[in-house]
Structure 1
Amino acid sequence: MTGKRTVWLITGASSGLGRAVAEDALAAGDTVIGAARRPERLAGLIAAYPDRFEAVGLDVTDGGEIDSVTADVLARYGRVDVLVNAAGRLRAGAFEETTDRELRHLFELRVFGPARLTRALLPQMRERGSGSIVNVSGVGGRLSPAGFSAHSATKAALEQLSEGLADEVTPFGISVLIVEPGAFRTRPSEEGAARFSEEHPAYAETVRAAGEPVRTGDSTQPGDPARAAAAIRTALEAENTPLRLALGGDAVDSPVAHPDSARAEPASREKVSRGTGFRAAPLGDRRGAPSAAGRR
């Protein structure tokens, strides 16, 4: 990424981590195409960097829009060096409360949209022998607390797509970075940024308590989006870009604790688990093999 003006395509650029990454890239002198459902919210960046920032309207759940925008960007800029899939929306609610429509939309937003964008831009990266794909996941990519089963499912799916993709494209000089932010001051409860499923009273004590920080925690989260963006840049500029980048102390601590608990249960049932294979018959009872008594 050094030595030339990098061209970034960033989804979800109007707010949150996507906005922070866009601002960081622009401050470094790069060129940024910021994609958002409401591109008018990017007017400030257009005014500040008229020669290096462009806002485009994009709904990442619309495959036709993805194809049109990426084709236009490649036709005019010639390349995209870094794709940042940061568009997203938090969905909170018990699994039973989550409708098919809500679940499908969440997967379109967090999995199928980024996948289509990536496929659209991979050929030019592969042909050039360089490029970076940044997929913003989160702590939910490794564990799933009550009230966030659907949300975490999309993050886990995105992480597994990314992990396999990294093995496939590394030989072509393309890096894949999974970003796992914890709680950052990205205003998750502002209008449109968070959605809540219709509540069922049965989950009042378990799920509602888990989702309360999302409703009331604005401006109290420990993470600084600007520092997160700087950390992402540092990872991309490293000689060997890591596959995963946890951001925030909570993002580091939670996955570390989770494997310990996840290993405890299998270990307690190890004998049963290992006893599910075919058992070798005693030597003398094997079909077609003579018993020891029958040997001469």
Structure 2
Amino acid sequence: MSRIWLITGSAHGLGRSIVEAALAAGDRVVATARSPERLDDLVEKHGESLRSFALDVTDAKAAQAAVDFAVATFGRLDVLVNNAGFGHFSPFEQTDPDDFRAQIDTNFYGVVHLSRAALPVMRRQRSGHIINISSVGGRTSASGMSAYQAAKWAVGGFTEVLAKEVAGFGVKVVAVEPGGMRTDWGFVARGNTPPLLPDYEAGVGAMLALLKGYIGHEVGDPAKVAKVVIDLAGRDKVPAHLLLGSDALFVYGEAEAVRQADAREWAEVSASTDFEGSDLSRLARMR
């Protein structure tokens, strides 16, 4: 039986690749975008297997409407892919507050709104996959990406908690965390950068120069990432986090090594705040 997908941010980049891969697998898709007319070529090509829907993921009522549309059109919802998102490169101090909030609202609350709308459907079905497209930036940090990476860290934490809560009734939740991909993400990210204050030239400026040199040479292939997403949707067991790309593995490994070294260096201070004779055995039941 073909699966029913709802995919956000489908008009371009990774989202479009996932739509195309799901259709190639014989599944049916509701593809959402702020400007769904950008999907008209795919709708014309795939007929009744693909329906487009206008969606601003920051609008909770619109998110509910998208899920309702998918169920009304195809009868169920098997896979939700929370892909919509964007980032703007800027020092935190120079980031416009409205832009900061917009990045949080899209990258994090978009995931929350769609998940909230989809879960009752999947719970009644006793099955479903929620695949949150995050980033290695959800477990690392880079100067100039405070809003984007704060949202992605939140997505990772939300995914872990939700995965535990819904496992008992057959729903799987995973955060997919790619490194750089050859999409238009990088062009958008650096296209809104203000002139840097002199004090940020050494740190943020160096990162901006690195980003400029990396755009167009990313190691990640969005078509291959899309194939992994299709595979995950067919698995009974998925990890809470899945890094994709050799660059993601490298960057995460470097960041984790620093965290582990800090934890060892400060372990005595960390333990010094306990009551005397504290018993940790109860924590084993919380895993």
The reply to whether TM is greater than 0.5 is: yes
Partner residue of 1:199? 196
- Provide the C-alpha distance between the structure 1 equivalents of 2:269 and 2:188, rounded to a whole number of angstroms: 50
Of the three residues 11, 20, 35, the one matched with 1:14 is 11
1:128 aligns with 2:135: no
Of the three residues 219, 225, 230, the one matched with 2:227 is 230
Partner residue of 1:176? 173
Worse-matched range after superposition: 239-248 or 35-44: 239-248
Of the three residues 19, 41, 46, the one matched with 1:44 is 41
- Provide the C-alpha distance between the structure 2 equivalents of 1:217 and 1:103, rounded to a whole number of angstroms: 24
Worse-matched range after superposition: 213-222 or 257-266: 213-222
- Structure 1 regions of 5+ residues with no counterpart? 281-296
**What is the identity, as a one-letter code, of the residue corresponding to 1:267?**
R
- What secondary structure sits across from 1:205 in the alignment? helix
Does the 8 Å contact 1:130/1:174 carry over to 2?
Answer: yes
- What secondary structure sits across from 1:162 in the alignment? helix
Of the three residues 94, 114, 137, the one matched with 1:97 is 94
Q: Describe how 1:1-296 pairs up with structure 2 within 5 A.
A: 4-190=1-187, 195-196=192-193, 199-215=196-212, 217-279=214-276
Does the 8 Å contact 2:86/2:188 carry over to 1?
Answer: no
Worse-matched range after superposition: 127-136 or 63-72: 63-72
**What is the identity, as a one-letter code, of the residue corresponding to 1:254?**
V
- Provide the C-alpha distance between the structure 2 equivalents of 1:127 and 1:193, rounded to a whole number of angstroms: 43
- What secondary structure sits across from 1:133 in the alignment? strand
Alpha-carbon distance change, 234 to 72 in structure 1, aligned in 2, over 3 angstroms: closer
**What is the identity, as a one-letter code, of the residue corresponding to 2:180?**
A
Worse-matched range after superposition: 177-186 or 63-72: 63-72
- What secondary structure sits across from 1:90 in the alignment? coil
**What is the identity, as a one-letter code, of the residue corresponding to 1:52?**
S
Does the 8 Å contact 1:188/1:214 carry over to 2?
Answer: no
TM-score, structure 2 normalization: 0.90
Count of aligned positions: 277
Deviations 1:60-108 (A, max 9, x none): 1122322222223322322111000000112211121223212211111
Q: Higher Cα Rg: structure 1 or 2?
A: 1
- Provide the C-alpha distance between the structure 2 equivalents of 1:46 and 1:111, rounded to a whole number of angstroms: 28
Worse-matched range after superposition: 126-135 or 269-278: 269-278
**Shift, 1:214, TM fit:** 4.2
Worse-matched range after superposition: 100-109 or 20-29: 100-109
**What is the identity, as a one-letter code, of the residue corresponding to 1:205?**
A
- Provide the C-alpha distance between the structure 2 equivalents of 1:246 and 1:67, rounded to a whole number of angstroms: 29
**Shift, 1:120, TM fit:** 0.6
- Provide the C-alpha distance between the structure 1 equivalents of 2:82 and 2:65, rounded to a whole number of angstroms: 17
- Provide the C-alpha distance between the structure 2 equivalents of 1:116 and 1:15, rounded to a whole number of angstroms: 21
Does the 8 Å contact 2:6/2:67 carry over to 1?
Answer: no
Alpha-carbon distance change, 113 to 234 in structure 1, aligned in 2, over 3 angstroms: same
**Shift, 1:271, TM fit:** 2.4
- Provide the C-alpha distance between the structure 2 equivalents of 1:176 and 1:91, rounded to a whole number of angstroms: 27
Deviations 1:224-264 (A, max 9, x none): 11111111222232342222221110111221222211121
Deviations 1:34-85 (A, max 9, x none): 1001111112211221121111111111223222222233223221110000
Alpha-carbon distance change, 136 to 266 in structure 1, aligned in 2, over 3 angstroms: same
Does the 8 Å contact 2:59/2:113 carry over to 1?
Answer: no
- Provide the C-alpha distance between the structure 1 equivalents of 2:48 and 2:113, rounded to a whole number of angstroms: 28
Alpha-carbon distance change, 159 to 195 in structure 1, aligned in 2, over 3 angstroms: farther
TM-score, structure 1 normalization: 0.87
